[in-house]
Structure 1
Amino acid sequence: MIKNTLEIRKVNTKRIIDYLRHVKYDTKKNIAEDLSLSFATVSTICNELAKYKVLKKQNILKSEGGRIPLALSIDENSWISVGIDLTVTNQINLGVMNLKNNIIHTEQISYNNGKKIDYILSTITDKVREIDEKYTDSSISGIGISIPGIYDNKSGMILNSTIPLFEEVKLKEELEATLPFDFYIENESNLLVKAVVQIDQKIKEEKMDVIYLFIGEGLGVGIVSGGEILTGSRGMGAEIGHMPIGSEETICSCGNTGCAENELSFKGFLRKYYGEDRKFTLNDWNAFVKDVKSGKDHALNVIKEEACLLGKVISVMINLFDPQILFIGGIIDEIYDYIYPYTLEEAKKRVLLSNYRDINIKKTIDKDKLIFIGCNQLVFENWII
């Protein structure tokens, strides 16, 4: 709830910036009309943003007579954020983005199993300092980090991490103790759903209810309802990885059996395909994908089995939240077309009143870019102007 005039001004400032992030340029008059704000409010805020060099004024519009209106545009590189993706085992993915969600730099750092958390922290610290020194004409407004687990916003710890290295680490506290920047932590699924909402203006404007289901090292979900991400009181909400609807044959890392994540994950697919429980590599995955595409019976049987379980998970999500769109992404991007028919069939069987609602399942691509957009949006939402 907005409590005072200062908060109203901050909200309106963010709305104006966000509006201009998605257009080439526009006038104060059009901005005021489209955002249902007074011209005086828009003019005052825009003039202040121009002083801080967030906006640029340009004489590029024509007028039939009288004063020529100034066009306003975002000075997109006046503001940058750093996105850090820690959701891939033995890998740090880093991206630098500007105010218009354009990626201006990416980098990948690999590390081996013997590395401790101190190495990760020092690597992140060094890379952020390098970026700050490189982009001297831009201001780093914050750093968004995607984690492979739950961020407990009460304790500040990462919990239930699919990469044990990060378990119970207070990442935000550790990094803010060494760097003069604000760090914002969120799990990958929430960042991915934040990203798809940000890049699809129809979803954003109509405040659609959207779900993003992510299959990677684990199974995650991000849910947006009424324009807000559902996280629960501690940030632990919407966790489906340990929903007990899977096979009872394999013990999950949590100590139980039947967890959906134990099957619908990188390791879960490969354990079922190769018939053994071991450390799998990207080469193992690529060989599996190749066998799927070449039509090998065993590979296709695994696809069908996994797809049906995915359909069950999706039916639970649809019955609970009734979304307008459900996105699927992650490691299954390359084999989505093989999975989708079985998944849809299973979901339709189990969704209540499926004849009366559209089960709208969509594939997303380029998870790495979406993660950085999600990190960028996380920083933007918390940015104090």
Structure 2
Amino acid sequence: MKITGDQQLIKKMNKTIVLDTIRQKQPLSRADISAAIGLNKATVSSLVAELIDSRLVNEIGPGESSGGRKPTLLLFNKQAGFAIGVDIRVSDLLAVLVDLEGNVIREKSVPLADSEPGSMAEQIRKTVAQLSRRLPESPYGIVGIGIGVPGLVDETSRVVSAPNLGWDNVDLAGALAAELGDNIHIDNEANAGAIGEKLYGAGRDSLNLIYLSIGVGIGSGIIVGGELYRGTSNFSGEVGHMTVAEDGPLCRCGNRGCWETLASEKALVDRAASLWKEDAPSLEEILASAKQGDKDAVELLNEIGSQLGVGLANLVNILNPELIVIGNRLSLAGEVFEDAMLGTIKNRSLSYHRKKTHVAFAKLGIRSTALGAASMPITAFLTDPDVSVQETV
């Protein structure tokens, strides 16, 4: 019998569903899969056989019997391939090599002396090559690369604007494709961070959450109903540029009183430099001083916490999220400014809106964006389990 295009599509979709069911509920048997997704046992067995042949699924032995022959249990082969996630920051980049379940195999942090697009592309190529050396044995090798960029990224993965890097209209994926392949995904770093925390971190059990990336600027990734909200042009989440002080400091965007001019890591460091009349201290130095009881450092961090609370109260009132996750570098000082931040949220948000909203710090620390970026090529790879992927980058 000739298989039509529609039948082939349905078969591919069913195979993807079977694979995803194994990943989410492993270990389980063929009968378990049939019961979970409603496909007959013969169809499930045929699709499982193909997944075993492609080495995406392994048989791991018998499970408990319910009266008849013991069923053979199935396990997703998380080391069938690997992915690399890259978090581009203003002064450095963080790259992680992960297996297909997002477990970090190795990572590398590289300082950036030059953020020019060509130099950045070359540094990414070098870092990917270093992480790819001596991979554990696998049938698919590196399945793809994901990159988080601190700027606006359109639907085609082109970086429209990244002011802190000095980029406008940069085709980073195109610059990398010749050496790193076509499975390259580029997104705003806060979107990637939101995906990372949703899949692997603080947001695993939340369907509606906001991830705040607070570093030189403030960006957000917004998850609604378990899916990333992107907006009409893929540019949602620029919460750092909502006005919180009408006559506040001038922002790099040209506006005054943007939230990030008052509550970002840069705002903290600039304020510390003006108070202490010396070279701008780092976040780590300010935090160390606060932990040693330095009154000025503690007050400064509490001031930043209060300013964070102002913007967070707005987000609570507008979006009524289940969870707000605070990530990127400023989260390192969360233990100091948390009380001031939460107090401001309580005082400025509507009580019914905040009643079920929880605020947490990123469970993945500064890896949120890199891990979220790595998940993007993994998702693309596993959504089409018929695709043959090269074993090397």
**In 1, are the aligned partners of 2:203 and 2:323 still within 8 Å (CA)?**
no
**In 2, are the aligned partners of 1:150 and 1:161 still within 8 Å (CA)?**
no
TM-score, normalization by structure 1: 0.87
- Going from structure 1 to structure 2, the CA distance change for 1:155 and 1:126 (only over 3 Å counts) comes to closer
Classify the secondary structure of the residue corresponding to 1:76.
coil
Structure-to-structure mapping, 1:183-222, within 5 angstroms: 183-199=184-200, 203=204, 208-222=207-221
The aligned residue for residue 182 of structure 1 is: 183
1:224 aligns with 2:210: no
Structure 1 Cα separation of the partners of residues 267 and 13 of structure 2: 44
**In 1, are the aligned partners of 2:94 and 2:370 still within 8 Å (CA)?**
no
Classify the secondary structure of the residue corresponding to 1:306.
helix
- The one-letter code of the counterpart of 1:128 is V
Structure-to-structure mapping, 1:47-62, within 5 angstroms: 47-62=49-64
Q: Once the 2 structures are TM-superposed, how far is the Cα of residue 360 of structure 1 from its aligned partner? A: 1.1
Q: Once the 2 structures are TM-superposed, how far is the Cα of residue 288 of structure 1 from its aligned partner? A: 0.8
Classify the secondary structure of the residue corresponding to 1:213.
strand
**In 1, are the aligned partners of 2:209 and 2:321 still within 8 Å (CA)?**
yes
Structure 1 Cα separation of the partners of residues 289 and 275 of structure 2: 17
The aligned residue for residue 388 of structure 2 is: none
Structure-to-structure mapping, 1:1-385, within 5 angstroms: 8-22=10-24, 25-63=27-65, 66-87=68-89, 89-113=90-114, 116-129=116-129, 131-132=131-132, 134-135=134-135, 137=138, 138-154=140-156, 156-164=158-166, 166-199=167-200, 203=204, 208-246=207-245, 248-275=247-274, 284-354=282-352, 357-383=355-381, 384-385=384-385
**In 2, are the aligned partners of 1:348 and 1:359 still within 8 Å (CA)?**
no
Q: Once the 2 structures are TM-superposed, how far is the Cα of residue 212 of structure 1 from its aligned partner? A: 1.0
- 1:122-151 CA-partner distances (Å, limit 9, x unpaired): 232244345556336343221100111121
- Going from structure 1 to structure 2, the CA distance change for 1:200 and 1:294 (only over 3 Å counts) comes to closer
Classify the secondary structure of the residue corresponding to 1:224.
strand
- Going from structure 1 to structure 2, the CA distance change for 1:111 and 1:169 (only over 3 Å counts) comes to same
- 1:4-53 CA-partner distances (Å, limit 9, x unpaired): 65555444444443443355522122233344554344333222111110
Structure 2 Cα separation of the partners of residues 279 and 175 of structure 1: 41
**In 2, are the aligned partners of 1:24 and 1:73 still within 8 Å (CA)?**
yes
- The one-letter code of the counterpart of 1:340 is E
Classify the secondary structure of the residue corresponding to 1:56.
strand
- 1:73-121 CA-partner distances (Å, limit 9, x unpaired): 111111211111112x2322211111121111212222314x6322221
Structure 2 Cα separation of the partners of residues 375 and 382 of structure 1: 12
Classify the secondary structure of the residue corresponding to 2:45.
helix
The number of equivalent residue pairs is: 377
- Going from structure 1 to structure 2, the CA distance change for 1:11 and 1:311 (only over 3 Å counts) comes to farther
**In 1, are the aligned partners of 2:157 and 2:186 still within 8 Å (CA)?**
no
Q: RCO higher in 1 or 2 (8 Å CA, sep ≥ 6)?
A: 2
Q: Once the 2 structures are TM-superposed, how far is the Cα of residue 223 of structure 1 from its aligned partner? A: 0.8
Percent of paired sites with the same residue: 23
- Going from structure 1 to structure 2, the CA distance change for 1:125 and 1:355 (only over 3 Å counts) comes to closer
- Going from structure 1 to structure 2, the CA distance change for 1:375 and 1:4 (only over 3 Å counts) comes to farther
**In 2, are the aligned partners of 1:154 and 1:234 still within 8 Å (CA)?**
no
Structure 2 Cα separation of the partners of residues 298 and 278 of structure 1: 13
Structure 2 Cα separation of the partners of residues 42 and 85 of structure 1: 39
**In 2, are the aligned partners of 1:91 and 1:110 still within 8 Å (CA)?**
yes
- The one-letter code of the counterpart of 1:271 is D
Q: Once the 2 structures are TM-superposed, how far is the Cα of residue 159 of structure 1 from its aligned partner? A: 1.3
**In 2, are the aligned partners of 1:86 and 1:146 still within 8 Å (CA)?**
yes
Structure 1 Cα separation of the partners of residues 130 and 354 of structure 2: 55
TM-score, normalization by structure 2: 0.85
Q: Once the 2 structures are TM-superposed, how far is the Cα of residue 350 of structure 1 from its aligned partner? A: 2.4
**Which structure 2 residue ranges, 5 or more long, are not aligned?**
386-393
The aligned residue for residue 391 of structure 2 is: none
- Going from structure 1 to structure 2, the CA distance change for 1:356 and 1:108 (only over 3 Å counts) comes to closer
Runs of at least 4 residues off by over 6 Å? 276-281
**In 1, are the aligned partners of 2:150 and 2:164 still within 8 Å (CA)?**
yes
Classify the secondary structure of the residue corresponding to 2:239.
coil
- The one-letter code of the counterpart of 1:329 is G
